[in-house]
Each structure stands twice: as structure tokens, then as C-alpha cells.
Amino acid sequence: MSTIELNQPSATAPQIPVLKHAAIDGMEAYRALVAEAERDHEAFWARLAREHLDWRRPFTKVLNDANAPFYQWFEDGELNASYNCLDRNLINGHADKTAIVFEADDGKVTRITYQALYHRVCRLANALRARGVKKDDRVVIYMPMSVEGVAAMLACARIGAPHSVVFGGFSAKSLHERMVDVGAVAVITADEQARGGKTLPLKTIVDEALTMGGAEAVKTVVIYRRTGGRIPWIAGRDAWLHELEQAQPDTCEPEWVGAEHPLFVLYTSGSTGAPKGVQHSTGGYLLWAAVTMKWTFDIKPADVFWCTADIGWITGHTYICYGPTAVGATQVIFEGVPTYPNAGRFWDMIQRHKVSIFYTAPTAIRSLIKTADANAAVHPRSFDLSSLRILGTVGEPINPSAWTWYAEQVGGGRCPVLDTFWQTETGGHMISPLPGATPLVPGSCTLPMPGIDAAIVDETGRDVPNGQGGVLVVRKPWPSMIRTIWGNPERFRHGYYPEELGGKLYLAGDGAIRDPDTGYFTITGRIDDVLNVSGHRMGTMEIESALAANPLVAEAAVVGRPDETIGEAIVAFIVLKTERPTGAEAKRVADELRAWVGKEIGPIAKPKDIRFGDAMPKTRSGKVVRRLLRSVAKGDAISQDTSTVENPAVISQFADAV
Ligand code: WTA
């Protein structure tokens, strides 16, 4: 719970008026929805599912909890997600509306209408079918941010093939692990990815992953030509996206699937073991993607929505691929990084594209505060941001000072700042202010969304009073929740519905506290060994295993250290098989280990600090004393009792970071 001190609500917050005429208009409207859900949870969700989705075959059953916690929603209903995100917009008169304004790393802008996006998706869907990809086959997508990336996801949805998007920053080894676990039959990738003026050879990484063994089921690799860079080619298996598309008709009958049909599997880090494949449904997931676009973001026909996430993460799934298209919105999709060609990129893009709803990560805001302070030319006040009406953040706690800067400097004190709390597993927003209703308090994600029965309990599952910290749980199932862990239902059951809490509460994995007066929630940080680095989830065990696999390393322990900009920094404590290195040698080995982690997992997992010692501080029973390591990582004077530590002398060796 290292983030708690970053997250104290502040008394000097700017007063931001709520928006008028929002989808949920005022606290009374919010309370009415909460009451409706409390009265009849199933009827509430059934009403929303009928109003917000187009069903091929209407459902008659709402919730099936016979096999809890493997809940099923709308199970006898049939629909298709791509139909709801594309065809439905054409039928509703939005064929010529811009679906996506794409801005490339180098600033080149392209626009695509709903009609054109529909045809692209249909062509690719046909091409996948022509290559033998069928309903239920899994397709891995390893793509840069692009229209093509979103089209690839929707094409898979169209033919009922669950996709598994792997973030372009993951290494060949991580990609391989995911391809094997999900049992992919095809991969959609690009020749290269462009980011911040640099390129990354995605196709080469796919080839490397495919030679690692175990992914022989992959018979097709589709390649989007992004940069035109040279790539290796395997005849028969590899195919250019543009050539495949040209050969196909531009309409495609959707595969109508049951509401519980897996729409995708997205891997995320847990506290133990390998990354887990979070499986989401079609009906329940898409429902919440659409509803939260309306409730949280108050999306209106003239809005220009911009979520800066990557499609490799859940935020990019829900608030780039599925949510905006399900409600027929115009959205900006951005390929690059916030600091290229300079740190004014976000503000410049908001100005040029007249973005009205902007959704980003606290890390990005914190790093842009620093650059704006140093250089007026990239300060938001140097841009016309008057198009903005709603701001949001996601992925990690936002500290009140960053919140206030965002509200005042970016939002001009006019725009509600929505601190949205949710997770890969929850599919969409869980606890968040509503722009037309909720009085805002910086440092708090405020109140649960209507229909979401969030609560705070102690370790035995008993309610704790407001003002007292505990663990965040959700009492009732909700439609967009995780269905299972791909291939590992027992891990799902034990991990999310633990017996210690009585087996009936969804355990989010975060600590939380409610304000005694307002009942507002503040998230205090993970209660497990998951770190949040720049808004990305990283398991300490994963990084430890990667380090331990290096031939130089005898033992490795990884902890997080609170960091002003990136939230948490990765700190690795290392014992080498040889002597403890010092000076230039320590630096050389540390760099080698960082590069190793980059290869094993991906650059995002590289430890910021590496510290060497002769032995790991352990208890007499041989357990690494992580609590102590966390204090050492923070640079705290070690005042704690070290009498339980077998070898306290080594602690001081770890004081210096390399
Ligand atoms: C953290 C991202 C505080 C939390 C959508 C959660 C947050 C994990 C917030 C999920 C927030 C996300 N305030 N913490 N507004 N949003 N988190 O799966 O620890 O990548 O459990 O989903 O991020 O990360 P994930």
C-alpha cells in the first residue's frame, strides 16, 4: 500500500461545477439509478442490455449464477460485437461520420468514416475466414496504434474468433508465452512500429517468438505495412494485409454468437505465476463499454473523444476499440508518445482536433507538468484548449497536486476531472465521478457506478466502517466482469473469490478507504505483489523469475518504490553467483541485467534501481524480508526491528542503487 501517502484528498481543491444536461443529470438521477439496481439487480441490467445493444436474438435469461463464481449474463441472447460497433452506426445514419481521426507518430493525419471502417473490417474478416480462421479460433494481435489495429480486433469479433492483443512493447519471449497459452492459430502484426521517431521491428519479433516452439498452430501471419522497412518473409505463412484485403468482398456476414462467447482474452500480471489470460464475454462486456461511454464520458454526437491508451491494454480495448464505436463516436487515435516531437504534443493535438473528452494516465500528466514548468512553449496555456469539456484519468491513483494542475491548466477550471477506478478484470469503470452529478474531490474516485455494488471489508470479509481502510470487493456480479482465466478456472476462483472472504465477494486486489462524511472511495494501492509502473501492471514475481533465469544471478527480489512521476519504480535486489560487484563492474552487470529483463519481458519491466549484496536478507526460516527491502528501496533509515533477520549485516550493502 505504498501509494497511500500520495493520495490524501486536499482541502484547497478547485471547485469545478458539474456539467448541465449530462446523461446522468444531477445526484438525484444518480441515486435513482443506484436505487433501481438495488431494487432489482437483474431487471436493471436487463433494461440496459435491451436499450444499449442490438441483439440478433433477444435474451430471456438475465443472470445465471448456478455455477458461481462463473456467472453467465444474457446467456441465451445472440449478437455480434462488430455489428454493434459498425453496422448499427450505418443503419442509424452515421455512415459518413468520422469514426477515427488517426494521427501518426510523424504527425500525418488520416480520417476514416464508419462506412469505410466497416468495409475494411469486412474485408479483413473475409480474409481471415479464407485463411481458415473459424469461430472460436484465437488470433493474436501484435500491432502498433493504428486504424488497422482496431480493424483487426473488430474483424476477429466479426467472425467470432477471440482476439488476444499483446502490447507492442512486450518481448518475443512474452509474446511467445501468450501465443502458446491462448493457442493462437493466426497472428496479425505490422512490419514495424514507429514511436517517438524510432522504429521497433514487430514482424521480426513475431518470427522470433514463432521459432521458440509450441506455437505450431499458427498458420497465418498477416502483416500491416506501416513503415515499409525490410522484414523476413516465410512464404505460405506470411501475407500482406493490403493484398489480403484487396482480394476480398467488402461486406461480410457476421458470426452471431451467444452473449457468453469469449470476445477476447487479455493477459495481465498477477502476484504469482505467469501472466493470466483474462477472458471477457461478448454481451456483458460490450454492454458496459457502451453504457460507460454515455454515463461516465457523457458522449454526445458532436464530441471528439480521445483516449491515449494503447490497444495492448484493457483501456485501449474498452475505450478505443469497443466503447467509442459502440456509441458511434468520433475518436482520435494516436500512434506516438506524449513527448515527441516535444512535450506539447497532447495539447497541440487537442487544439488541432478540437478534442472535447480527453482520457489519459496520471503518469503522463505528472511528466508533462515537469516539462511545462521548464518550458512555456509546451505549457497547456500556450494552446487553445477551449474545445475540452471532460477530462479523465485511469490506471493508478492521481495525487491531488497533479489532479489540480490537470483541472486548472488543462481543463481551465471548467472541466470535471474523472478519476476512474477499474481493472482489466472489470471490463469497464467501477468507481468514478459522473460529470453531471458528482461533486469532485481530488484524490478520490468518489462513488461506484450505478449497478456496481462495491464495498470495503476486512480480511475475513466483514464490512468495515467508513473511515477505516480495508480491501475493496464487489458483492454482486456485474455483466462486464471477467469470466475466467483462460485455461485455468481454479486460478480464477481462488484468486478472485477467495474462501477467506467467504467465496462470494469479488476481490479486486486493491486496498481502499471511504470518507466518513461523503462515503467517497479512495484507492490506497495494491494489496498483493503487483506493482503499478506508469499505470502498467507488473508482477514482482514475474520480474524476479526473469532475473533469476540469468546465469549470473543466484537470487533476486523485486519490490516497488514510490516514484513521483511513474507511480512506482521497480527496484531489484540481486545476489550474484560470483562476488558482489562494485564500481564500474556493478554498473556493467546492472546494465546487462536490465537488457536481459527487456528481452525476457519487455522494456517496461526493466528495473530502475539494481542493488547488489552478498546475500538476501532473510528470516531464520529462510523467507526474504520484503518489508525490509521496501524500506531499503525507499532509502528509509532502517529503524525497524531487524532481530528476526538472520543476516542483518547485508542490509547496508543494498543501500546504494546502481
Ligand atoms: C490500479 C487499468 C487508483 C489499481 C484500467 C487496479 C487505479 C489496477 C485506478 C488495474 C484509479 C486503476 N485509482 N488505482 N483510478 N485505476 N488503478 O488491470 O491498482 O491495468 O487494480 O486496469 O490499476 O490495472 P489494469
Q: Say yes or no: CB of residue 395 within 6 Å of ligand 1.
A: yes
Question: At 54, is the pLDDT very low, low, confident or very high (cuts 50, 70, 90)?
Answer: very high
Kindly report the protein residue whose alpha carbon is nearest to atom 8 of ligand 1: 423
pLDDT of 302: 98
pLDDT of 3: 37
Kindly report the protein residue whose alpha carbon is nearest to atom 7 of ligand 1: 396
Class for the domain spanning 116-248: alpha beta
Domain boundaries, the chain: 116-248, 534-654
Kindly report the protein residue whose alpha carbon is nearest to atom 3 of ligand 1: 397
b/e map 429-468, b = 16+ CB within 10 Å: bbbbbbbbbbebbbbbbbbbbbbbbbbbbeeebeebeeee
Residue ranges for the binding site for ATP? 395-397, 419-424, 510, 526, 537
Q: Say yes or no: CB of residue 427 within 6 Å of ligand 1.
A: no
> What is the whole-number distance in angstroms between the Cα of residue 245 and the centre of ligand 1?
37
pLDDT of 12: 65
pLDDT at residue 358 above 80? yes
Class for the domain spanning 534-654: alpha beta
pLDDT of 227: 97
> What is the whole-number distance in angstroms between the Cα of residue 479 and the centre of ligand 1?
19
Q: Say yes or no: CB of residue 292 within 6 Å of ligand 1.
A: no
DSSP 563-602: ETTTEEEEEEEEEESSPPP-HHHHHHHHHHHHHHHHHHT-
Average pLDDT for 285-293: 99
How is residue 620 annotated by DSSP? T
pLDDT of 646: 87
pLDDT at residue 639 above 70? no
> What is the whole-number distance in angstroms between the Cα of residue 396 and the centre of ligand 1?
5
Strands 357-360, 390-394: pairing kind: parallel
pLDDT of 1: 33
Average pLDDT, the chain: 95
pLDDT of 2: 36
pLDDT of 640: 65
Q: Say yes or no: CB of residue 424 within 6 Å of ligand 1.
A: yes
Query: Distance (Å, rounded) from C-alpha 645 to C-alpha 471?
Result: 29
pLDDT of 330: 99
**pLDDT tens digits along 487-525:** 999 999 999 999 999 999 999 999 999 999 999 999 999
Kindly report the protein residue whose alpha carbon is nearest to atom 25 of ligand 1: 423
> What is the whole-number distance in angstroms between the Cα of residue 450 and the centre of ligand 1?
19
Query: Distance (Å, rounded) from C-alpha 367 to C-alpha 364?
Result: 5
Question: At 6, is the pLDDT very low, low, confident or very high (cuts 50, 70, 90)?
Answer: very low
Query: Distance (Å, rounded) from C-alpha 354 to C-alpha 524?
Result: 35
Give me the phi and psi of 10, to 5 degrees please. Answer: -105, 150
pLDDT of 642: 79
Query: Distance (Å, rounded) from C-alpha 15 to C-alpha 561?
Result: 32
pLDDT of 638: 77
What is the percent of the chain where pLDDT is above 70? 98
pLDDT at residue 461 above 70? yes
pLDDT at residue 4 above 50? no
> What is the whole-number distance in angstroms between the Cα of residue 394 and the centre of ligand 1?
7
Q: Which residue has the higher pLDDT, 188 or 7?
A: 188
pLDDT of 11: 52
DSSP 184-224: EEEEEEES-EEETTEEE-HHHHHHHHHTTSS-TT--EEEEE
Average pLDDT for 106-132: 98
